[in-house]
Homo-oligomer: A and B are copies of this chain.
Amino acid sequence: MATPRTKTPPPVRTGLRRPLPGPAEGEVRLGELNDFIGFHLRLAQDASFRAFARQTGHPELKPGRFAAMMVIRNTPDISQVALSRAIARDKSSVTPMIQELLRRGLVTRRPSPIDRRSMMLRLTPAGEALVGELLVHARRHDGTLDEIVGARKAEFITILRRLADRLG
């Protein structure tokens, strides 16, 4: 307080968050939290997200973008609203996302000839290339998850899907 603080330079944002240590053994007691599915869902999703961001060499492209590009790739000429439903986000959240992908030359937008309100999205060749590259990392990442999940992968995914479906 007595000494004037030197001006803080803007922190460098790496976008690559380092892994955070989990709770140290015996350090804390979670109590009933231990029985809550929601709590563990959050921790697992968070860890998975971080691990993916770390492993892919593209810290600027987050899993959310990757998922959107995958959907566009698998459903060419999809509209923004349909995309927003597929990734469970509001359409107003999709707009800036698509704008970024457009700016980076990864997707194209063409007006639909059928419905002049809506736009048809497609990946550009650059977009296809990037998705292909990210897919390598995504597969490796999911391979890691597979090992952790074990033999019951299909059942595990079924349950996750059921959760997402029924809670919507």
Which residues of the other chain, B, contact A83 by a CB distance below 8 angstroms? 28
Which residues of the other chain, B, contact A152 by a CB distance below 8 angstroms? 155, 159
Nearest CB on B from A34, distance (A): 8
Nearest-CB residue, chain B, relative to A34: B157
Q: Does A126 contact B (CB under 8 A)?
A: no
Do B82 and A47 have beta carbons less than 8 Å apart?
no
Take A43-B88, A78-B28 as given contacts and tell me if A156 and B157 are in contact as well, using a CB distance cutoff of 8 Å.
no
A interface bracket (residues with beta carbon within 8 Å of B): 35 or more
Interface centre among A49, A73, A157 (most CB of B within 10 A): A157
Interface string of A71-110 (1 = CB under 8 A from B): 1011100100011011011100000000000000000000
In Å, the complex CA distance between A150 and B74 comes to 32
Take A22-B85, A71-B30 as given contacts and tell me if A163 and B49 are in contact as well, using a CB distance cutoff of 8 Å.
no
Q: Does A124 contact B (CB under 8 A)?
A: no
Interface string of A33-44 (1 = CB under 8 A from B): 101111111111
Nearest CB on B from A73, distance (A): 7
Nearest-CB residue, chain B, relative to A21: B85
Do B160 and A28 have beta carbons less than 8 Å apart?
no
Do B40 and A48 have beta carbons less than 8 Å apart?
no
